[in-house]
Structure 1
Amino acid sequence: MTELDRTDRSILAAIQLDGRMPIAKLAERVGLSETPCARRLKRLESEGYIDGYRAMLSRRALELGVVAFAQVRFSVHDRSLSDRFEREIQGIPRIVSCHNISGTADYLLQIVARDLDEYGIFMRDVLRTLPGVTAVESMLSLREIKRDSGLPLP
């Protein structure tokens, strides 16, 4: 990977805000002509600085009114059990993020649901039945203050 210069960081910052920005507009924003801008963008993609492009969907429009954070605990810390848990959660769309964490819990999950009834059913029928899970503590989001707005650039 090459060292990021100011122009590379400007390109990354701009596409984090709008991944569909046309090259012409991106080039203008970062002070380059289109061809060098396109070459830099391709290099940033090929060097792994850009994982991909996607749309940010509206939870409100999709009627996903509940955002919950669940701390999941295991009583037995077995590698194969953790691997099975991690494989299974990959296939559960309601779990929008999962982090293996330090502290009193083993994993922190972010989960979305239509309402509290649906979340309760998900907890009972899915989350608590996953391999290794012995305890789950839920925290419900009352209001989102800041949404994933991209990574800070050095």
Structure 2
Amino acid sequence: MIDLDETDRAILRALRADAALSAGELGRRLGLSQPAAWRRIRRLTESGVISGRRLVLDREALGFGVTVFLGVKLATKGRVSLDEFERAASAIPEVQTIEHVLGLFDYRLKVVARDLADFERVLRRRIMTLPGAGNVEANVMLSEERLPGPLG
């Protein structure tokens, strides 16, 4: 773990809001030279604080109006490997995230669909046929509020 000063935190907040910002633009916003901003970004990346940059797509603009979180309990843990379940779930395009969790369920999946009828198709034809899939509980997302996280 590296020590972060307020400038590092400001860089992280700015990149979290817009990961496409250049070192020059970051420097202008924070009162740093372009090389100084670039060195800090490189240090944060090399230390693992920045692990990548992502493009965030608007699901609704792409026609995916429904997001569902599924709790999946494996029916046959001993007969089906976790890797096999994860590999099969990863092959489903509507599955956005696969989280192996501790608790009532073994996995938590985030699934997007065009509408509820499309979700039902994905559930019946793809999710319920996953190797080892047993009990499945669905929670439809009604709204989403993004919180800033630990950096404020």
TM-score, with structure 2 as normaliser: 0.89
Over 3 Å counting, the alpha-carbon distance change for 1:85 and 1:9 in structure 2 is same
The alpha-carbon deviation at position 102 of structure 1 amounts to 2.1
Q: What letter is aligned with 1:38?
A: W
Q: Is there any run of 5+ residues in structure 1 with no aligned partner, and where?
A: none
Separation of aligned partners in 2, 1:79 and 1:21:
48
After TM superposition, list the pairs within 5 Å mapping 1:61-76 onto structure 2. Answer: 61-76=61-76
Query: How far 1:134 moved relative to its partner?
Result: 0.9
Output the CA distance in 1 between the equivalents of 2:86 and 2:95.
11
Contact 2:69 2:141 in 1 (8 A): yes
- In structure 2, relative to structure 1, the CA distance for the partners of 1:68 and 1:15 (3 Å cut) is same
1:91 aligns with 2:91: yes
- Contact 2:71-2:136 within 8 A present in 1 as well: yes
Counterpart for residue 28 of structure 1: 28
Shift of 1:7: 1.6
Matched residue, 1:37: 37
Structure 1 residue runs of 4 or more that deviate by more than 4 Å after TM superposition? none
Question: Identity of paired residues, percent?
Answer: 39
Residue in 1 that maps onto 2:143: 143
The number of residue pairs the alignment matches comes to: 152
AA aligned opposite 1:74: L
Structure 2 unaligned blocks of 5 or more: none
Q: Write out per-residue CA displacement over residues 74-116 of structure 1, whole angstroms, 9 at most, x where no aligned residue.
A: 1333385212111222222211112122221111111000011
Q: Is the 8 A contact 2:99 2:107 kept in 1?
A: yes
> Residue 18 of structure 1: CA displacement?
0.7
Please give the alpha-carbon distance, in whole angstroms, between the structure 2 residues aligned to 1:21 and 1:126.
39
Q: Structure 2 CA distance, aligned partners of 1:31 and 1:117?
A: 52
Cα deviation code 1:30-55 (max 9, x no counterpart): 33211111111112122222222222
Shift of 1:29: 2.5
1:14 aligns with 2:5: no
**Cα RMSD (Å) of the superposition?**
2.0
Counterpart-to-counterpart distance in 2, 1:4 and 1:142: 36
Q: Which residue of 1 aligns with 2:48?
A: 48
Q: Aligned partners of 1:75 and 1:89: how far apart in 2?
A: 15
Q: In structure 1, the residue corresponding to 2:138 is in which secondary structure?
A: strand
Give the aligned residue type for 1:152.
P
Query: Any conservation in 1 of the 2:92–2:126 contact (CA below 8 Å)?
Result: no
Give the Cα–Cα distance (whole angstroms) in 2 for the partners of residues 90 and 152 of structure 1.
29
Shift of 1:125: 0.8
